[in-house]
């Protein structure tokens, strides 16, 4: 393992505690949810969290997309505090659980705290191997740019060399994203984003478009890529074509070519670069080994970043992403144990 400097990766997203339980189709119907939703909670969904806690004995798992990825990257890297995380939480016991779990996994969490709302939660409703996500951002939406302007946090931003922000976060603070992206641009450092969920390119089209010129690596899954194409009025569902069109969108840092990486569940991962498209097969996982796919995409990015910061090729980064996702789907939520034994 290469010696990687502390704080080299900086991530920003919504800090959420996952409240995860196995439920039946009736429960999904009760709240008008589908088996594979990833949505923001509306007033009709607010009783879900108490319902889960009262009737389903749920698991509480440190969640939030980028925080998941950083926890997985730390698992790969072994040395604590390679990654730094910003997100906003309330002043409550959920914030303490979240911080304890993320720190135990080696992430240097530097939360902003608000008294305006409780810590955000995400209901993870598992039916067989499917998962439906319903996020109540609560405190997470109170993240404000002054957090990154504090001298101690500015120092962390200046020290980092890789920046990873979720598409989810465009719903919260575009000015924060742009300020960090401008630091990346100024120093020719890597700025990475994820499309995160189909509703992001559709419902937050303008906000996402403001950030995209700064993005060097775009991650997404097939549903998110199709939603992106639909939002852009591109008349195609062909992932290769969508990826190539994403490469052509305006880009601020001319010293780096953009790269698009699209996952498609058990089907090959696509690496779309300026002059070529590569496919990476996903080894078959027997159905009885799958627990749930919750966090698969986040784990993929975590595995990728864990290798990227060691200076490994995209080929190795993607194979480690596939390996990490495979571990996570054999467990409940984005969790892992023991030593990460990925072999290059
Ligand atoms: P969730 O969306 O469940 O996690 P994810 O990491 O995005 O995983 P998905 O199951 O959606 O995977 P994917 O579709 O992205 O990727 P793919 O299937 O292609 O979200 C989890 C977290 O999101 C929660 O912790 C929650 O807190 C957070 N969250 C929700 N709302 C939020 C919000 N508003 N703000 C912030 N956070 C929020 O799979 C990826 C890879 O996995 C594949 O390439 C492959 O390698 C592997 N893989 C997948 N399926 C298989 C298979 N069948 N066999 C073998 N390998 C597989």
Rounded Cα gap, residues 302 and 115, in angstroms? 31
* Cα 329 to ligand 1 centroid, rounded to whole Å: 9
* Cα 39 to ligand 1 centroid, rounded to whole Å: 13
- Counting atoms of ligand 1 from 1, which one is nearest the CA of 133? 30
* Cα 151 to ligand 1 centroid, rounded to whole Å: 34
Mind listing the pLDDT tens digit of every residue in the chain (344 residues)? Answer: 668 999 999 999 999 999 999 999 999 999 999 998 889 999 999 999 999 999 999 988 889 999 999 999 999 999 999 999 999 999 999 999 999 999 999 999 999 999 999 999 999 999 987 889 999 999 999 999 999 999 999 999 999 999 999 999 999 999 999 999 999 999 999 999 999 999 999 999 999 999 999 999 999 999 999 999 999 999 999 999 999 999 999 999 999 999 999 999 999 999 999 999 999 999 999 989 988 888 999 999 999 999 999 999 999 999 999 999 999 999 888 889 899 999 98
Superfamily of domain 9-14+64-116+142-328: Ribokinase (3.40.1190.20)
Residue 121, ligand 1, Cβ within 6 A: no
Rounded Cα gap, residues 220 and 271, in angstroms? 11
What is the value of pTM for the model shown? 0.95
Rounded Cα gap, residues 96 and 289, in angstroms? 32
Helices 151-159 and 174-186 pack at an angle, to 10 degrees, of 50
Q: Cα dihedral angle (343, 224, 177, 209), rounded to 10 degrees?
A: 140
Domain ranges of the chain: 9-14+64-116+142-328
């Amino acid at each position: 393992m290469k010696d990687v400097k502390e704080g080299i990766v900086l991530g920003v997203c919504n800090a959420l505690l996952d409240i995860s339980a196995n439920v039946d189709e009736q429960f999904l119907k009760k709240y008008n949810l589908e088996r594979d939703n990833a949505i923001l909670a509306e007033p009709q969904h607010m009783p879900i969290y108490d319902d889960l806690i009262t009737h389903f004995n749920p698991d509480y798992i440190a969640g939030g997309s980028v925080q998941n990825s950083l926890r997985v990257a730390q698992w790969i890297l072994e040395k604590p505090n390679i990654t730094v995380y910003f997100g906003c939480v309330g002043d409550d016991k959920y914030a303490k659980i979240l911080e304890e779990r993320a720190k135990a996994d080696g992430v240097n969490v530097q939360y902003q705290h608000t008294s305006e709302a409780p810590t955000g939660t995400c209901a993870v409703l598992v039916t067989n191997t499917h998962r439906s996500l319903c996020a109540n951002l609560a405190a997470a939406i109170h993240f404000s740019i002054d957090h990154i302007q504090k001298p101690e946090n500015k120092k962390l931003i200046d020290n980092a060399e890789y920046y990873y922000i979720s598409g989810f976060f465009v719903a919260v603070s575009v000015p924060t994203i742009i300020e960090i992206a401008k630091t990346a641009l100024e120093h020719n450092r890597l700025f990475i984003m994820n499309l995160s969920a189909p509703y992001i390119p559709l419902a937050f089209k303008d906000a996402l478009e403001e950030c995209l010129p700064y993005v060097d690596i775009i991650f997404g899954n097939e549903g998110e890529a199709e939603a992106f194409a639909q939002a852009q009025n591109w008349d195609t569902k062909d992932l290769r074509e969508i990826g190539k069109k994403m490469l052509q969108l305006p880009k601020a840092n001319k010293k780096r070519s953009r790269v698009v990486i699209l996952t498609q569940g058990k089907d090959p991962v696509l690496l779309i670069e300026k002059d070529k498209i590569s496919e990476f097969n996903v080894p078959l996982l027997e159905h009885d080994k799958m627990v749930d796919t919750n966090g698969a995409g986040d784990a993929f990015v975590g595995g990728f970043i864990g290798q990227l910061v060691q200076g490994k090729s995209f080929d190795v980064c993607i194979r480690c992403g596939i390996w990490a996702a495979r571990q996570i789907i054999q467990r409940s939520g984005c969790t892992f144990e023991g030593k990460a034994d990925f072999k290059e």
